[in-house]
Structure 1
Amino acid sequence: MLAKEREIYILSRLNTQPMISVKDLCREMNVSKSTVQRDLSKLEKQGKINREYGGAVQVNIKETISDLTEGPVLEKLNINVDKKAIIAEFASKEIKDGDLVFIDSGTTSLQLIPFLINRKIKIVTYSYIFLAKMGQLDTDIYMLGGKYNRKHEICYGTSTIEQLKDFRFDKAFITANGADCNLKEVYTSEIDVGNIKKAAMKRSKKSYLLIDDSKFNITGLSTFAYFNEFEKIFTNSLPDNSKKHKNIVITKK
Structure 2
Amino acid sequence: MNFPNRKRLILQTVEEKGSVEVKELAELLQTSEITIRRDLTTLATDGLIYRTHGGAMKVGLAVNPVQFVNKTAVNSENKDHICRLAAQEINEGDVVFMDCGSTVFRLCQFIRNKRIQVITNSLPVVNELMQSEVTVNLVGGEVDLKRQAVHGLIAHEHVARYHAHKAFLGVDGISAQHGLSAHSETEGGMTLAMAAQAETVYLLCDSTKLEKDKYVQFAPLSLIQVLVTDSNARPDVLELYREKGVRVLN
2:152 pairs with 1:153:
no
Taking only aligned residues, the RMSD between alpha carbons, in angstroms, comes to 1.9
The equivalent of 1:168 in structure 2 is 163
Deviation at 1:72, TM superposition (A): 3.9
| Counterpart selection for 2:175 from 180, 183, 192 | 180
Q: For 1:240 and 1:184, locate their aligned partners in 2 and report how far apart those are by CA, in whole Å.
A: 19
Deviation at 1:125, TM superposition (A): 0.2
2:77 pairs with 1:82:
yes
Give identity over the alignment, percent: 23
Cα-to-partner distance string for 1:132-162 (whole Å, 9 max, x where unaligned) = 2223422210001211111110010000001
2:141 pairs with 1:142:
no
The equivalent of 2:21 in structure 1 is none
Q: For 1:91 and 1:72, locate their aligned partners in 2 and report how far apart those are by CA, in whole Å.
A: 25
In the superposition, the TM-score normalised over structure 1's length comes to 0.66
**Which of these two proteins has the greater Rg computed from alpha carbons?**
1
Q: For 1:188 and 1:137, locate their aligned partners in 2 and report how far apart those are by CA, in whole Å.
A: 31
2:194 pairs with 1:200:
yes
2:94 pairs with 1:102:
no
Aligned residues: 180
Deviation at 1:86, TM superposition (A): 0.7
Give 5+ residue unaligned stretches, structure 1: 1-70
2:117 pairs with 1:122:
yes
Q: For 1:211 and 1:104, locate their aligned partners in 2 and report how far apart those are by CA, in whole Å.
A: 13
Higher-helix-fraction structure = 2
- Which AA in structure 2 matches 1:131? V
- Which AA in structure 1 matches 2:139? L
Change in 2 beyond 3 A, CA 1:249/1:160: same
Cα-to-partner distance string for 1:80-136 (whole Å, 9 max, x where unaligned) = 001000101111111111111000111111121122122121010000111122234
| Counterpart selection for 1:231 from 213, 225, 242 | 225
Q: For 2:130 and 2:141, locate their aligned partners in 1 and report how far apart those are by CA, in whole Å.
A: 22
In the superposition, the TM-score normalised over structure 2's length comes to 0.67
Give 5+ residue unaligned stretches, structure 2: 1-65
Higher relative contact order (CA 8 A, sep 6+): 1
